Amino acid sequence: ELIAIAVAHTTGCPYCIELHVKQAKNKEATKEELSEAVMVATALKAGSALAHGVNALNAYDKNEDDELYRAAYFNRLKEFSQLNGDVFKAFIAFDQQAMKAGELSVKEKELIAIAVAHTTGCPYCIDIHTKGAKKAKATKEEVAEAIMVATALKAGSALAHGVNALIAFDESN
């Protein structure tokens, strides 16, 4: 349920947030655990934007390579520390703090991060956090389960919001 809560915050689906918070509370999840899951989602959603910033740097520099994802591109991330140092350092500090063990273990946070990374579609984040989860002793089955929760929530969010589209369609002339 904590993975579902993090993914629901990433998709921004209020229906999913309400449903999964209630279910987590019924399973005795604490408000502190919920808060940590939300902070991991926040770090990953922002981290995805930053990670994909390497593609912006490539586009700006007119990199003629037509491959959008290459692990080596991630090395350009440090350029943001030179271009926007204080903000970059503040984000890195937040990201590191969000991923530290607290009420949730590092393993639990890494599994949440994998689910959110699949929701944002960030290949850099998927790579980093899958390796982090493995280092934290997560099994391949736990990783797969986190991905399936993300898949279900992303699809569920689209379906839930589909009702709004149908209502808008019916209300239009």
Q: What is the CATH number of the domain that holds 154?
A: 1.20.1290.10
pLDDT at residue number 62: 83
> What is the arithmetic mean of pLDDT over 11-22?
95
Q: What is the pLDDT of residue 131?
A: 98
- The DSSP secondary structure of the chain, one letter per residue, reads -HHHHHHHHHHT-HHHHHHHHHHHHHTT--HHHHHHHHHHHHHHHHHHHHHTHHHHHHHHTT-----S--GGGGGGGGHHHHHSHHHHHHHHHHHHHHTS-SSS-HHHHHHHHHHHHHHHT-HHHHHHHHHHHHHTT--HHHHHHHHHHHHHHHHHHHHHHHHHHHHHHHH--
- Digit-coded pLDDT (tens) for 151-161: 999 999 999 88
Over residues 23-68, the pLDDT tens digits come to: 999 999 999 999 999 999 999 999 999 998 988 898 898 877 777 7
Q: What is the pLDDT of residue 90?
A: 96
The domain in which residue 143 lies consists of 2-171
Does the structure show a pLDDT above 80 at 169? yes
Can you give the pLDDT at residue 67? 75
Q: Environment class of residue 38 by beta-carbon count within 10 Å: exposed (0-12), middle (13-18) or buried (19+)?
A: buried
Number of domains into which the chain is organized: 1
Q: Which residues of 72-111 are buried (b: 16+ CB within 10 A; e: fewer)?
A: ebeebbeebeeeeeeebeebeeebeebbeebbbebbbbbb
pLDDT per residue over 78-124, tens digit each?
899 899 989 999 999 999 999 999 999 999 999 999 999 999 999 99
Predicted model pTM? 0.91
Indicate if the pLDDT at residue 9 is higher than 90.
Answer: yes
